Structure formats: structure tokens, C-alpha cells
């Protein structure tokens, strides 16, 4: 700091540290105090794009915000989506000593292309950590339930006790001892994820955008979101990393 931010006098002196250990200054002219401001943080365009893709924004809105064309944006968005691996990050969950993992399963619909083309998003979440352990896009039938089951890593499947809403398809897939249909489930975490997806991924289920017309992009965008969702969760649970 070279001048007083209040009166712009250059007669400032150091005056101890602030509560947050920042250098404090006092102006000899107006006698007011000031703390040096953090330098403004600059985001790279890619860094910004990674964050914007996790919000409820259309591709066109993102293009406008970044002042780029949709044509420039699309290949970069696809590259970011494809950079999220098929296997969602689980940290060290698979190595847990816990003998039984409570997994909540649920399914919600969305659309690809047209209104008469519903796609079900099947989700499985580990209850204790809130991590998404599996997801599948498909029909709301036995095949869909099987797809979800197989998307969960083998080591977690072996220890899983799955809580569901009792949809028939689950019963056909899960072994009796591993399934709690209409069990008194604590659904707060799964409901929050469902809401988060509806709130922040709404554009995925809209049919107006060219890039959400294809099944592949729908899947990639959802995978990207779930991947980032787990990374955010894991960052708050260092013991799992
Ligand atoms: Zn001053």
C-alpha cells in the first residue's frame, strides 16, 4: 500500500496486523486505518469454463459470458466432458474396513431429444460419505436396474446393502439379503443430490439445445457433473483421499 485508500495521502505507516494476520496501515493525514487488499484473482478461460459447466446455463449463455462463439466452445466442452473418467472418483472407499455399506438407489427421468423420449437416470449413493458410487442411463426396467448395479465397483457391490423405493426392477436384480425395498430409508442425501441435479443440470434435460439432443452428450454431461460432485465431496473428507 502506497497511498491511503480513503484520502489518497501518501503519509501512511504500518500499524500492526489485522485479525486475519494481514498488514494494517494507518493514515497520518485522515487517521483512518486500512488493510491491504488481496490481489484480484484471475481465472483462466478453461478454469472458468469448468465451473460454468456445473451451473444451470445453456451453452449459448456460456459462450456469451466467455465472449466466444458456440463453434469455438463445443469441442472444448466435449473435451472437458470426456476428461471425466467413466469411473467416478471414490477416494479410498473401496478399501474401507467397514463390512457393510448402505447404498441408496433411486431413479429420475430426463429427456434426450424430444419430449416423447424419456431417459431414466439411475443413481446409487453410499450413505455415509454421500459419494455417488454408480449411475446408469436407460429404461426404467430390469435392464436399467442391472445397469446401475453393474456400474457400482465390484468391491463396493460385495459389501452393499441397497435401499430402494421398492420398484419391481430392483427386486429382480438384487439378491434378497442385499436389498431393502421400502426399507425405512434415510433419503435426505439422495434427495439433495436429486435436487442438485435438477437445479444445476436442468439444461441437460432440455430439448432446445443442439448439444443435448444426443444421447452421448447427455451421458457425458451427467458423468461430468457426477464426477465433479464426488471430487467436491472428497475434498471435504481428507481421510478418504
Ligand atoms: Zn487518509
- At the topology level of CATH, where does 93-240 sit? Nucleotidyltransferase; domain 5 (3.30.420)
Per-residue pLDDT of the chain (241 residues; tens, 9 = 90+): 889 999 999 999 999 988 888 889 999 999 999 998 777 888 889 899 999 999 888 888 999 999 999 999 999 999 999 999 888 999 999 988 888 999 999 888 776 666 667 788 999 999 999 999 999 999 999 999 999 999 999 999 999 999 888 888 988 898 888 888 875 556 678 888 888 888 887 655 555 444 456 778 888 989 999 999 999 999 998 888 7
Residue 216, pLDDT score: 83
SS3 11: coil
Angstrom distance (rounded) from CA 186 to CA 205: 27
Element (H, E) at 52: helix 45-52
Phi, psi for residue 162 in degrees, rounded to 5: -95, 125
Query: Which H or E element spans position 181?
Result: strand 179-181
Pairing outcome for strands 160-164 and 101-111: parallel
**Ligand 1 centre from 42 Cα, in Å?**
29
Ligand 1 centroid, distance to 40 Cα (angstroms): 23
User: 8 CA to middle of ligand 1, Å?
Assistant: 6
CA of 5 to the centre of ligand 1 (A): 7
Do the Cβ atoms of 183 and 161 come closer than 8 Å? no
**Residues flanking ion ligand 1, Cβ below 5 Å:** 4, 6-7, 9, 27, 29-30
Cell of 223: 458423468
What are the structural domain ranges in the chain? 1-41, 45-83, 93-240
11 CA from centroid of ligand 1 (Å): 8
Amino acid at each position: 500500500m502506497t497511498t491511503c485508500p480513503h484520502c489518497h495521502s501518501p503519509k501512511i505507516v504500518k500499524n500492526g496486523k489485522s485479525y486475519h494476520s494481514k498488514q494494517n496501515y494507518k493514515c497520518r493525514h485522515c487517521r483512518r486505518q486500512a488493510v491491504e487488499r488481496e490481489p484480484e484473482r484471475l481465472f483462466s478461460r478453461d478454469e472458468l469454463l469448468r465451473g460454468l459447466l456445473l451451473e444451470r446455463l445453456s451453452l449459448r449463455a456460456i459462450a456469451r459470458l466467455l465472449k466466444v462463439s458456440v463453434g469455438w466452445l463445443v469441442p472444448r466442452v466435449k473435451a472437458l466432458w470426456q476428461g471425466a473418467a467413466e469411473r467416478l472418483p471414490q477416494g479410498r472407499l473401496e478399501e474401507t474396513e467397514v463390512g457393510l455399506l448402505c447404498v441408496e438407489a433411486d431413479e429420475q427421468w430426463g429427456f434426450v431429444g424430444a419430449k416423447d423420449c424419456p431417459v431414466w437416470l439411475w443413481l446409487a449413493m453410499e450413505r455415509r460419505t454421500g459419494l455417488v458410487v454408480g449411475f446408469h442411463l436407460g429404461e426404467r426396467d430390469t435392464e436399467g436396474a442391472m445397469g446401475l448395479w453393474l456400474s457400482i465397483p465390484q468391491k463396493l457391490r460385495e459389501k452393499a446393502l441397497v435401499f430402494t423405493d421398492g420398484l419391481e426392477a430392483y427386486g429382480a436384480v438384487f439378491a434378497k439379503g442385499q436389498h431393502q425395498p421400502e426399507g425405512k430409508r434415510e433419503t435426505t442425501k439422495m434427495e439433495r443430490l436429486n435436487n442438485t441435479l435438477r437445479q444445476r443440470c436442468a439444461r441437460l434435460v432440455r430439448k432446445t439445445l443442439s448439444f443435448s439432443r444426443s444421447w452421448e452428450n447427455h451421458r457425458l454431461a451427467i458423468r461430468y457433473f457426477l464426477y465433479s460432485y464426488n471430487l467436491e465431496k472428497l475434498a471435504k473428507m481428507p481421510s478418504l483421499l
